[in-house]
């Protein structure tokens, strides 16, 4: 094939030389290759630029060394009498205290390249990214032990890109400042193991009742397996999951060369034995000091690690003598070994003077009927939708398939709100909630410091059912509001915090936990609830407390499981000096009810308190309420409270307290406004038949006027129902007048009927 050429002039010689026409495609290829190279290099250049920018930004990220756990100076706690408590919150573990098995277990499962990376693990990050990409979402993280330490001491737990980048930057700085062993010891000092245990030392005590150096290989693996999901792998609550997770840790240890086959098999075969109701040095004060420590951290904006290294002197409200006796009582007042209990004692200022529990953490359980005054009755009274004397019918109800039964399926018929509270009538509580509206109930619960979810906004709330339950501390704070005239104050544990010679908090000048008193309900409403709950003690479900020689207000509650057995029993009580809340509960079948052993437990606590100092004999009631004589008969007929009059018979009168703004009148009293009786007259078989209806509250008099004059032919008093009277007047073809008089005291109403009789009667007799 003949080659084609094109001409080009040589700029040096002027000669024209031929060039191949195929050079043009070569140039294009060079341009294309250059473009592709630039395209491929762009991400690399961009990534390099991003890394450079990140490196510059990361230099400005500050590591807060004061937030890291160190063995420096633990805080000291002092009780209300100034005595230093024997228990101390010792969660720091030094590098020398970490056993080889414990170290290897955590490294194997949490961060196998811990001793080779520089705070973050690019290999693990890439693997996690690929796994998440395949899963189509976030399924696994890539945090190293160093990053987890940073997350627990330096950052919040929000899930954002900026927080993750900050975490990586801080982890890199941490690795430059501290050795690997020191980082591991700090990590093991702060990590959460569930059940209220922070740090591996606490976890050892709570789960195994051991010190760290006493742990077996199997127990080390168990602890290492928990931290990924403390609730899901809890040795107390999910033992089967815990064992599976432990064995996975042991398998990883074998694969990574930390243990041999024999050690693996022996450790995997070891029975999981968890200590129950561990009695150690923290048993007496542990829960109290845990809450006090949380309160200080929240108020001062510091981490738990900072507090543990602060050296603060913390003065708390705890009465140590009372605390010891509360703990002793708790063991005496439960019915079986598998029943747990908690007892809370608040003083009049809202300070926690005693808090005992046989569980190592704060419980949250179904509150049952103790929630009724908070969720239903106090809101309805405060909104002036009801009064204590409001008549209501206790009966079986059904709201869209929701039909709660009273205890024993017993119903009381016509009753009042006060009686419904005292006897804990479920149907009445649901009726009031339906009238009030569930959103209003939820709003008032929040005022009492109890927050519920949207799924809890249903009729079951009237019986105290919530998805997350309620703690004895929350119930105590809420009931304390009634004793303070409707002012809510969260439970307070701490009175003062001293740093060196300087008070950084003093309860006399500030509110540590930021929960300043806020009004939950009016003083009138609080006093009306107190009146109703006094009735619960004198004649209701808390009658056991009537043995006390002074007044207390109380409410009991019982929660049931789906199988019909009980799960929780409560008694919440208070007077002007203290609020006492007792909870008994079990995950098995509980034989107790709130009005039984929990109330007896509360009685013993009140007797203990009374033995230490005189108790006020009466509950203080607000001047915003007053007593009113109530006409119960008229109220039942009119469906609202009616004031009694002078004509109201004593047997229908009761005395009730009312908000002064809602005092009832006597305008609807049936004794003040006697209705005109209805009388029908006709002839039947040569006799006059007279028909009328009687109400038991009136006296009825039937008179006849005929040729012989006027005479009473019938009288009745207290009769309820229809009445028929037969009469034979003397008329001889004339007329006869019948008069039916209905009277109450001096108030009368008449009904007259005139009858022309033919043929005449002469007997003058009548028959009923």
Contacts of 637 (CB under 8 A, 6+ apart): 670
| Higher-confidence position of 343 and 337 | 343
324-334: average pLDDT: 87
- Over residues 571-583, the pLDDT tens digits come to 999 999 999 999 9
Could you count the other beta carbons within 10 Å of the beta carbon of residue 140? 11
Distance, in Å, from the CA atom of 147 to the CA atom of 170, rounded to the nearest integer, reads 8
pLDDT of amino acid 673: 82
CA distances from 287 to 127, 330, 360 (A): 42, 14, 6
Sign of CA dihedral 85, 91, 94, 100: positive
Distance, in Å, from the CA atom of 478 to the CA atom of 379, rounded to the nearest integer, reads 13
Angle between the N-to-C axes of helices 239-255 and 261-269, in degrees from 0 to 180, rounded to the nearest 10: 180
Please check whether the domain covering 679-767 is classified as CATH 3.30.360: no
375-389: average pLDDT: 96
* pLDDT band, very low/low/confident/very high, at 614 (cuts 50, 70, 90): very high
Cis peptide before 759, with omega less than 30 degrees from 0? yes
Percent pLDDT > 70 in the chain is 86
Q: Which of 123-137, 438-452, 561-575 has the highest average model confidence (pLDDT)? A: 438-452
pLDDT of 141 over the 60 cut:
no
Catalytic position from the list 369, 471, 483, 634: 369
3-state SS, residue 319: coil
Q: Per DSSP, what are the bridge partners of residue 583?
A: 342, 570
The DSSP result for 660-703, as a single string, is GGG---STT-TTTSPPPP-EEEEEETTEEEEEEEE-TTSEEEEE
Query: Looking at residue 198, what DSSP letter applies?
Result: B
pLDDT of amino acid 3: 44
Q: Tokens representing 75?
A: 């805080």
pLDDT of 6 over the 80 cut:
no
Please check whether the domain covering 88-280 is classified as CATH 1.10.357.10: no
Of 534, 537, 482, 490, residue with least CA distance to 512: 490
| Higher-confidence position of 152 and 614 | 614
Average pLDDT, the chain: 86
CA distances from 220 to 189, 208, 243, 645, 657 (A): 15, 11, 12, 79, 64
Beta strands 76-78 and 313-316: pairing type? parallel
518-537: average pLDDT: 96
* pLDDT band, very low/low/confident/very high, at 516 (cuts 50, 70, 90): low
Please check whether the domain covering 325-486+521-612 is classified as CATH 2.40.50.140: no
Distance, in Å, from the CA atom of 387 to the CA atom of 455, rounded to the nearest integer, reads 29
pLDDT of amino acid 464: 92
| Higher-confidence position of 133 and 101 | 101
- Over residues 717-768, the pLDDT tens digits come to 888 899 999 998 888 777 899 999 998 878 889 999 998 876 555 455 555 5
* pLDDT band, very low/low/confident/very high, at 198 (cuts 50, 70, 90): confident
pLDDT of 510 over the 60 cut:
no
pLDDT of 18 over the 80 cut:
no
pLDDT of amino acid 550: 97
Catalytic position from the list 110, 535, 656, 672: 110
Distance, in Å, from the CA atom of 153 to the CA atom of 123, rounded to the nearest integer, reads 25
* pLDDT band, very low/low/confident/very high, at 513 (cuts 50, 70, 90): very low
369 is catalytic: yes
pLDDT of amino acid 592: 87
| Higher-confidence position of 735 and 417 | 417
- Over residues 247-259, the pLDDT tens digits come to 999 999 999 999 9
- Over residues 426-464, the pLDDT tens digits come to 999 999 999 999 999 999 999 999 999 999 999 999 999
| Higher-confidence position of 476 and 136 | 476
* pLDDT band, very low/low/confident/very high, at 4 (cuts 50, 70, 90): very low
71-97: average pLDDT: 80
* pLDDT band, very low/low/confident/very high, at 200 (cuts 50, 70, 90): very high
Contacts of 358 (CB under 8 A, 6+ apart): 277, 330, 331, 340, 341, 342
Report the chain's C-alpha Rg in angstroms.
Answer: 41
- Over residues 678-703, the pLDDT tens digits come to 999 998 888 899 999 998 888 999 99
498-507: average pLDDT: 88
Q: What's the whole-model pTM score?
A: 0.70
pLDDT of 158 over the 80 cut:
no
Q: How far does the chain reach from its first CA to its final CA, in angstroms?
A: 144
464-491: average pLDDT: 95
Contacts of 75 (CB under 8 A, 6+ apart): 89, 293, 296, 307, 308, 310, 311, 312, 313, 314
265 is catalytic: no
Distance, in Å, from the CA atom of 267 to the CA atom of 243, rounded to the nearest integer, reads 11
pLDDT of 10 over the 70 cut:
no
Q: Tokens representing 321?
A: 């003598």
321-342: average pLDDT: 88
369-384: average pLDDT: 97
pLDDT of 57 over the 60 cut:
yes
């Amino acid at each position: 094939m003949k080659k084609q050429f094109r001409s080009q002039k040589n700029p040096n010689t002027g000669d024209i030389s031929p060039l191949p026409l195929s050079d043009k495609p070569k140039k294009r290829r060079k341009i294309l290759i250059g473009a592709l190279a630039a395209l491929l290099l762009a991400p690399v250049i961009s990534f390099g630029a991003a890394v450079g920018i990140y490196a510059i930004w990361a230099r400005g990220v500050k590591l807060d060394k004061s937030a890291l756990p160190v063995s420096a100076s633990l805080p000291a706690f002092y009780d209300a009498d100034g005595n230093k408590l024997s228990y101390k919150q010792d969660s720091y573990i030094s590098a020398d205290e970490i056993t080889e098995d414990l170290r290897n277990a955590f490294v194997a499962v949490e961060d196998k390249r811990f001793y080779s990376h520089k705070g973050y693990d690019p290999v693990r990050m890439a693997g996690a990214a690929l796994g998440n990409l395949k899963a189509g979402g976030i399924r696994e993280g890539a945090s190293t032990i160093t990053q987890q330490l940073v997350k627990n001491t330096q950052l919040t737990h929000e899930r954002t890109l900026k927080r993750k980048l900050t975490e990586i930057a801080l982890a890199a700085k941490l690795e430059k400042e501290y050795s690997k062993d020191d980082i591991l010891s700090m990590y093991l000092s702060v990590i959460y193991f569930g059940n209220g245990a922070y740090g591996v030392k606490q976890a050892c005590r709570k789960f195994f009742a051991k010190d760290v150096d006493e742990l077996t290989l199997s127990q080390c693996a168990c602890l290492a397996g928990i931290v990924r999901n403390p609730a899901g792998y809890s040795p107390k609550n999910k033992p089967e999951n815990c064992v599976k997770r432990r064995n996975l840790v042991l398998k990883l240890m074998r694969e990574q060369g930390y243990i041999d086959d024999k050690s693996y098999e022996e450790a995997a075969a070891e029975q999981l034995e968890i200590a129950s109701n561990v009695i150690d040095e923290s048993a007496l004060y542990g829960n109290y000091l845990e809450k006090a420590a949380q309160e200080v951290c929240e108020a001062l904006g510091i981490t738990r690690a900072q507090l543990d290294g602060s050296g603060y002197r913390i003065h708390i409200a705890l009465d140590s003598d009372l605390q010891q006796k509360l703990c002793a009582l708790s063991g005496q007042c439960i019915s079986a070994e598998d029943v747990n209990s908690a007892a809370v004692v608040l003083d009049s200022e809202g300070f926690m003077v005693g808090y005992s529990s046989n569980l190592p953490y704060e419980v949250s359980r179904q509150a049952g009927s103790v929630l009724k005054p908070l969720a239903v009755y106090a809101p309805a009274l405060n909104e002036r939708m009801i009064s204590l004397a409001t008549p209501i019918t206790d009966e079986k109800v059904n709201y869209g398939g929701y039909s709660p039964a009273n205890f024993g399926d017993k119903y009381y018929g016509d009753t009042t709100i006060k009686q419904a509270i005292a006897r804990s009538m479920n149907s009445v509580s649901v009726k009031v909630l339906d009238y009030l509206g569930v959103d209003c109930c939820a709003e008032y619960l929040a005022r009492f410091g109890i927050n519920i979810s949207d799924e809890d906004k249903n009729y079951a709330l009237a019986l105290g059912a919530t998805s997350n339950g309620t703690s004895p501390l929350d119930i105590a704070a809420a009931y304390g509001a009634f004793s303070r005239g409707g002012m809510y104050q969260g439970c307070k544990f701490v009175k003062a915090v001293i740093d060196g010679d300087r008070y950084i908090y003093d309860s006399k000048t500030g509110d540590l936990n930021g929960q300043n008193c806020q009004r939950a309900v009016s003083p009138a409403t609080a006093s009306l609830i107190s009146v109703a709950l006094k009735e619960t003690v004198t004649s209701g479900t808390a009658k056991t407390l009537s043995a006390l020689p002074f007044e207390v207000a109380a409410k009991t509650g019982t929660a049931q499981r789906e199988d019909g057995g009980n799960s929780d029993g409560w008694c919440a009580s208070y007077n002007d000096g203290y609020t006492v809340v007792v909870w008994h509960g079990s995950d098995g079948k509980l034989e107790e009810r709130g009005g039984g052993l929990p109330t007896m437990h509360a009685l013993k606590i009140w007797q203990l308190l009374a033995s230490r100092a005189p108790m006020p004999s009466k509950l203080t009631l607000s001047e915003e309420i007053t007593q009113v004589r109530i006409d119960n008969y008229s109220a039942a007929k009119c469906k609202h409270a009616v004031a009694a009059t002078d004509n109201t018979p004593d047997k229908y009168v009761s005395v009730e307290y009312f908000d002064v703004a809602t005092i009832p009148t006597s305008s609807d009293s049936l004794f003040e406004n006697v209705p005109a009786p209805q009388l029908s007259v006709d002839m039947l078989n040569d006799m006059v038949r007279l028909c009328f209806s009687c109400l038991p509250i009136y006296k009825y008099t039937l008179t006849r006027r005929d040729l012989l004059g006027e005479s009473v032919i019938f009288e009745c008093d207290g009769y309820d129902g229809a009445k028929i009277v037969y009469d034979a007047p003397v008329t001889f073809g004339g007329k006869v007048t019948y008069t039916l008089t209905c009277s109450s005291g001096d108030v009368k109403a008449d009904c007259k009927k005139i009858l022309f009789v033919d043929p005449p009667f002469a007997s003058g007799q009548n028959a009923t």
